[in-house]
Amino acid sequence: MEFFRVPEALQREHELMRHRLDRAVGEGGRTGEAAVGVVDALRPHVAKEEDFGLPALGLLQHLVAGKVSPVMRGVIVMTDRLKLEYEQMLADHDAIAAAIRKLADAARAEGKLEYVGMCELLTRYLQTEEQVYYPAAILIGEYLKLKLDRPAGA
């Protein structure tokens, strides 16, 4: 179903990050090398997010409108997996943040301040995932368990 997908706004954020990192890689030098490190740290993590970490957020507008359907049970599998792998997702963020700090240091040393600003945005995005997106996704799963396991009319 269409709502089993990462929301378009988050997909665009990921695309924008990939584009900016590709540009940083293309800079070459220490900045480019450090950007490769960020890309390498992000790639498997983003795949997990897109697989099971963020698709539940695609349900938010439906849930706010009071639309709950048994087909949404499929999202519970994703959110249960996110709960199971939550600590690893946060550990991934630690590794990604370390790579981002290296990129910021390299960009600063080479006077490529555009990439220092990009690093600040990337770091803020990681915090948003930790403080908002992951908890919201998990809560969606818990909410669906309650709603879908409740007898009709209860």
Please report which confidence band the pLDDT of residue 3 belongs to, taking 50, 70 and 90 as the band edges. Answer: low
Half-sphere exposure of 20 (CA within 13 A, CB side): 19
pTM (2 d.p.)? 0.91
Tell which residue, 71, 61, 54, 65, has the closest CA to residue 137. Answer: 54
Q: Phi and psi (nearest 5°) for 108? A: -65, -45
Average pLDDT over residues 81-99: 97
Residue 14: how many CB atoms within 10 A of its CB?
A: 16
- Provide the residue type at 146 as one letter: L
CA distance 31 to 53: 30
Q: Is the pLDDT of residue 136 over 90?
A: yes
